[in-house]
Amino acid sequence: MAIGLIIIGDEILSGKRVDQHLPKVIALLKERGLSLDWAEYVGDDRARITATLQRSFASGDIVFSTGGIGATPDDHTRQCAAAALGLDIVLHPEAKELIHQRIMEMNATQDMPTVPDSPDYLRRLEMGAFPQGAAIIPNPFNKIPGFAIREHYFVPGFPVMAWPMIAWVLDTHYSHLFHQQARDEKAVLVFEIAESVLTPMMEALELKYPLIKVFSLPSVGSDTMRRHIELGVKGEPAQVASAFAEMLLVLDQFQAEYRLL
């Protein structure tokens, strides 16, 4: 199954906050022998979020979504998920209890009473309103849960909450996928050669070895490093070894200067 990531929030697109979720999710997956297949950034626009979720629900992929599950006017993800699936949004009973516990704890620290009918109390409960049929994702930081429905997992935008929640989802629901495929990667730095010269070789290797991918990361260079390409292969270990050996032979034929990584 492919794995995707949707990162929601105007603060990311405006530059007010720098996204930390993409590299962390890649790392969480890599630790478990998995990899990220795609990622999207979406602002706080209901129509755009709903359209994005309609596409991702239709894909059948495993999808993690960060941000927009609070109860302020710029939080739309819960409502958009329900709209994308054509479902009602309802207060989840377990989420209601967890939010109640959190409110009680917070009020106790301030020696304040908990008034269940107060506007503030009811507004906080809205964070437990999810698409009908959703399950909760436990939040070890403050008990306010995320929710899961149809292989989609919705967590807050705060890294301190989102990352352990994503790890929990992976370990709870997808441990059977961990480390299913052995993978390897080998690469070299090739100096002062045009990428176009190497393209036919890269295409030929991918045709000959269907279980590998060839990658090419060119750099214009800097004060401390000449113009170069990071050139390599990744995928099934035996085919990686064979393809990489052939790659080095071709580089030798070109009399290319390179350095193993």
pLDDT at 196: 93
Nearest one of 4, 130, 127, 133 to 57, comparing CA atoms = 4
pLDDT at 91: 96
Structural domains of the chain, with CATH: 3-177 (3.40.980.10), 184-260 (3.30.70.2860)
The DSSP string of the chain is: --EEEEEE-HHHHTTSS---HHHHHHHHHHHTT----EEEEE-S-HHHHHHHHHHHHHHT-EEEEES--SSSTT--HHHHHHHHHT--EEE-HHHHHHHHHHHHHHHHHTT----TTSHHHHHHHGGGEEETT-EEE--TTTS--EEEETTEEEE-S-HHHHHHHHHHHHHHH-GGGTT-S--EEEEEEEES--HHHHHHHHHHHHHH-TTEEEEEEEE---SSS-SEEEEEEEESHHHHHHHHHHHHHHHHHTT-EEEE-
Q: Strand pairing of 3-8 and 62-66? A: parallel
Closest CA to 167 of 24, 14, 18, 20: 24
The token pair at 181 is 């495929």
The predicted-structure confidence for 120-131, as pLDDT tens digits, reads as follows 889 999 999 999
How confident is the model at residue 229, as a pLDDT? Answer: 96
The tens-digit pLDDT sequence of the chain (261 residues) is 799 999 999 999 999 999 999 999 999 999 999 999 999 999 999 999 999 999 999 999 999 999 999 999 999 999 999 999 999 999 999 999 999 999 998 888 888 888 888 888 899 999 999 999 999 999 999 999 999 999 999 999 999 999 999 999 999 999 999 999 889 999 999 999 999 999 999 999 999 999 999 999 999 988 898 999 999 999 999 999 999 999 999 999 999 999 999
- Describe the strand order of the beta sheet including 135-137 as a list of residue ranges: 38-42, 3-8, 62-66, 152-155, 146-149, 135-137
State how far Cα 207 lies from the chain centre: 30
The span from the CA of 69 to the CA of 9, in Å, is 11
| pTM of this prediction exceeds 0.95 | no
If we measure between CA atoms, which residue out of 62, 94, 77, 69 comes closest to residue 170?
A: 62
Please give the pLDDT value at position 112: 83
pLDDT on residue 107: 87
**Predicted pLDDT at 204:** 97
Token pair of 127, please? 């964070």
